[in-house]
Amino acid sequence: MSSLAHRDRARTHQQVWAKVNAPVDKGVASLITALSTFPKLQTLESCENLQGWAWVTFVYGEHWKRPWEDLAKFVLGFLGSALARELGDRVRVSIQVTEAGLYRAEMAARIEAIPATVKLLAKLASDFSD
């Protein structure tokens, strides 16, 4: 769905936040659960791969109204710097624009760094105010 279609739909359908249970790769489940403690974060896709990394894509905030602003503020102004400071190159976070023009963030973590990442995300979530 294009950004314009998302915004048009949001005008006619009121959006609310709800947590949804879904099957995910076992190695990335705790990371998804930790990310889900941020009330306005919505995970989209995830994978635990064989090269030693797991990744999760997500959107943040009212992405149907402000396609990139909330996401950029959260990732660049809060999450990214905290992850880099505490976990270095064991975790990466980036913002991407899809072929359809939608904005997404991706967090990739070394499999062995997932427990430390989950612990840090829990601390960050308790400190975060949006």
Domain definitions of the chain by residue range: 3-14+28-127
pTM of the model: 0.83
Predicted confidence (pLDDT) per residue in 54-67, tens digit: 999 999 998 888 88
Question: What is d(CA 90, CA 71) in angstroms, rounded to the nearest whole number?
Answer: 22
Q: Which two tokens stand for residue 18?
A: 């709800």
What CATH number should be reported for the domain whose range is 3-14+28-127?
3.30.1360
Does the pLDDT at position 10 exceed 70? no
State the DSSP code for 13.
S
Question: What is d(CA 97, CA 91) in angstroms, rounded to the nearest whole number?
Answer: 20
